[in-house]
Amino acid sequence: MSTLLVTGGAGFIGSNFVHYVLENTEHYVIVLDKLTYAGNLNSLEGLPANRFEFVHGDITNSDLVDNLVQRVDAVVHYAAESHNDNSLVDPRPFLDTNIVGTYTLLEAVRRHNKRFHHVSTDEVYGDLELDDPNKFTSTTPYNPSSPYSSTKAASDLLVRAWVRSFGVQATISNCSNNYGPYQHVEKFIPRQITNVLAGLTPKLYGTGENVRDWIHADDHSSAVLTILNNGTIGETYLIGADGERNNKDVIEEILEIMGQPRDAYEHVIDRPGHDLRYAIDSSRLREELGWTPKYVDFHQGLQSTVQWYMDNEAWWGPQKQATETRYAEQGQ
C-alpha cells in the first residue's frame, strides 16, 4: 500500500481516477484541488473516508505543495485548465496552472525524490489530415495549436527537462479525448446530452468533420495506473482506444440514443484554429506494458454515459446555465 497525491482530483478525469484507484487498489489517496468552476466535490461522494482525504488548494502554492509531497510516495498530476474554448477567451489561467503549477510540483518532487506521473494530452502534437494514414506516436514532433495545448506542451517539456537535468523520477502520458461520468457540461459530449435534457438544441461547430479519438475515462485510469506501476522513468506513453469518430457522427449517435431525430441539431460558428483530427497509436503501451482498454464498444459506452447524465441532473444542473451563457457570448 502506498499514498498517492492526485492533483485535480475533483475534475472529470481526476475524480474518475480516484474512484478507480480506491476500487481497484489498496492505495491511500490525497486529492489536492483548487475547486475552480471545473472542480466539483460531489464527484468524490461515497469514497471510503479511511483511505481518502481532500485538500482545497492551488498547485502553484509551493509551501502547500511541498508539505503534501513530503507525505506521499507518488504524485499523479491531473490539475489543469483544460478547455480549449476558454483558453481562446482568456489564456492567463492556463499559463499559471498548466505551466507554473507543473513547475511547482516538479520542484517539490525533485526536493523530496518522489515518483511523478504527468497527465497530458494528444493535442500537443497538433492535428492530422483526415486521410493521413499515420497516427500520433511518442516521436511525433510537438506542434500545438491553441493556448491550452501550447501550455500542456510546455508542461511536458518541463517534465522532460527535470528528468534529464535533475534526475526526477517521472513518466508522461498523452491521452486522446475522454468521455464518461463527471465530465463538465462545457465539453462536447456532455454539452449535447444535457442540451437535449434541458430542451436546448445541440450545437455542432462548423461542418462537424473534425475527428476525435474517444476513450472511456476508466480506460484512461487503468492506463495511468499501469504506467505508474510499470512504466520506464523518463518515458512518454500515448494512451488511446482506437475510437476515431467525427463530431457529426457523434452528435447524431447521441440524438439517436436519446430518441430524437438524428438531424435535430444546429451548426454554430467554428472554433478558431480548430484542430481537424487526432489519432493515437498506443501500441507501445499495449506491447511493452500489456495494457488493453475495456470499453471497446463506443456505442455502449456512449449509452451508459447518456444514462449517467439522465440519472444525475443534480450533479450537472447547477453548471448548465452559466456554461450556456458563456457559449452564447461567443456565438456558440
Active site residues: 122-123, 148
Q: Of 14, 240, 243, 293, which lies in the binding site for ligand NAD, with binding defined by CB under 6 A?
A: 14
Binding status of residue 82 toward ligand TDX by CB under 6 A: yes
185 contact choice in ligand NAD, ligand TDX, none (CB below 5 to 8 Å, kind-dependent): none
13 contact choice in ligand TDX, ligand NAD, none (CB below 5 to 8 Å, kind-dependent): ligand NAD
Q: Of 38, 65, 124, 254, which lies in the binding site for ligand NAD, with binding defined by CB under 6 A?
A: 38
Locate 329 and state its grid cell: 457570448
Q: Which stretch binds ligand TDX (CB under 6 A): 92-100, 201-209, 228-236, 290-298?
A: 201-209
Binding status of residue 213 toward ligand NAD by CB under 6 A: no
The whole-angstrom separation of Cα 121 and Cα 128 is 15
**What contacts 24+ positions apart, CB below 8 Å, involve 282-286?**
282/237, 282/238, 282/239, 282/240, 282/241, 282/242, 284/137, 284/138, 284/237, 284/238, 285/223, 285/226, 285/227, 285/237, 285/238, 285/239
Q: Of 84, 177, 221, 247, which lies in the binding site for ligand NAD, with binding defined by CB under 6 A?
A: 177
**What contacts 24+ positions apart, CB below 8 Å, involve 49-58?**
51/22, 51/27, 52/18, 52/22, 52/28, 53/29, 54/9, 54/10, 54/30, 55/30, 55/31, 57/32, 57/33, 58/34, 58/101
Q: Cβ distance 28 to 52 under 8 Å?
A: yes
Q: Of 151, 177, 222, 226, which lies in the binding site for ligand TDX, with binding defined by CB under 6 A?
A: 177
> In this structure, how many other beta carbons lie within 10 angstroms of the beta carbon of residue 294?
11
Binding status of residue 247 toward ligand TDX by CB under 6 A: yes
Residues 258-277 that bind ligand TDX (CB under 6 A): 271
Binding status of residue 121 toward ligand TDX by CB under 6 A: yes
Q: Of 35, 258, 268, 289, which lies in the binding site for ligand NAD, with binding defined by CB under 6 A?
A: 35
Nearest CA-CA partner of 13 in 87, 107, 82: 82
Q: What is the DSSP letter of 122?
A: G
Binding status of residue 188 toward ligand TDX by CB under 6 A: yes
Q: Of 34, 77, 203, 220, which lies in the binding site for ligand TDX, with binding defined by CB under 6 A?
A: 203
Kindly list the residues in this chain that would bind ligand NAD in the complex (CB under 6 A): 7-8, 10-14, 32-36, 38-39, 58-60, 78-82, 97, 101, 119, 121, 152, 175, 177-178, 184
Kindly list the residues in this chain that would bind ligand TDX in the complex (CB under 6 A): 82-84, 121, 123, 177, 187-188, 191, 203-205, 210, 212, 247, 271
